[in-house]
Chain A
Amino acid sequence: MPLTDSLRDDILASVPSLRAFAISLSGNGDRADDLVQETLLRALANIDSFQPGSNLPAWLFTILRNLFRSDYRKRRREVEDADGSYAKTLKTQPAQSAHLEFEEFRAALDKLPQDQREALILVGASGFSYEDAAAICGCAVGTIKSRVNRARSKLSALLYVDGAEDFGPDETVRAVIGGNG
């Protein structure tokens, strides 16, 4: 369809969540904004292929996700800029202790396999249904569900196994998480 005013407004309204998705995927604010820019250019250049009435955010997320994956393949041998680069993109820094916890979470998220990380973000943060997430990733709904479950298990193991005293007997938690590893 042509780029109507309302479609343009909808695309603009998707930018904040596209950025959040890009930053969550890449862990790097500058790179994320380049990804968003490329996504917007590509979307607008191909706007005729967008089906009116279909899910615009899902369409845009699919473009961004595919760009990220081709970009990732190119860059995988480069040195990752994983320490603190995300935090720099925040306008308001989290409070000190929350900041530390946040960095730990970010580091754990970066350790997930890419398939699991994107599935977890789409379902757990972007709020897409399993069906939409499956369409965005080009895989079966069951595959998305299992990736999300594996991502949650792995994050639990990375973040909480050694500090699980708050949650109950160490051995119990360890056994549960170990069994899913």
Chain B
Amino acid sequence: MKDVKSKNATPGKQGGLNAEIQSRIGHQLRAMYDDVVRQGVPERFAELIRKLDASEPNPQLGTAGDKNDGRD
């Protein structure tokens, strides 16, 4: 059984969209998005940042080599 509060609403008078539909769209959009957010940081990216952080010249990173000022 559904609790459809807006059943008696008259959306036509508001010149907008049915609030219930809008709330459902918002919910689905966030559900889709948050599913991915909850996966966290895949190892691939954690490792990428770690590698770059080690201030080694990285062939993938174009200008990174320029920043190696011989500290190592």
Q: Which residues of A contact B (CB under 8 A)?
A: 3, 8, 11-12, 15-17, 19-21, 23-24, 33, 36-37, 40-41, 44-45, 89-92, 94, 101-102, 105-106, 109, 120-121, 124-126, 152-153, 155-156, 159-160, 164, 166-168, 172-173, 175-177, 180
Contacts and interface: CB of A to CB of B under 8 A. Distances in A.
Contact of A168 (B7, B30, B61): B7
A91 B26 contact: no
Contacts of A164: 21
Contact of A17 (B17, B24, B37): B37
A102 to B, nearest CB: 7
Say what secondary structure dominates the interface of chain A: helix
10 contacts: A11-B49, A12-B46, A19-B42, A20-B33, A45-B63, A90-B36, A124-B30, A125-B29, A176-B16, A177-B17
A70 to B, nearest CB: 16
Nearest to A5: B53
Interface in B1-55: 2, 4, 6-7, 9-12, 16-18, 20-22, 24-26, 28-42, 44-46, 48-49, 52-53
Say what secondary structure dominates the interface of chain B: helix
A121 B11 contact: no
Nearest to A125: B33
A43 B2 CA distance: 47
B32 A172 contact: no
Given A45-B63, A166-B4, A172-B12, A40 B49 contact: yes
Interface of B: 2, 4, 6-7, 9-12, 16-18, 20-22, 24-26, 28-42, 44-46, 48-49, 52-53, 60-64
Which of A33, A106, A176: most chain B CB closer than 10 A? A176
Contacts of A24: 32-33, 36
B30 A16 contact: no
Given A36-B45, A102-B28, A124-B26, A175 B4 contact: no
Given A45-B62, A120-B29, A166-B2, A156 B46 contact: no
B25 A152 contact: yes
Contacts of B48: 37, 40-41
A151 B22 CA distance: 11
B45 A40 contact: yes
A125 B35 CA distance: 11
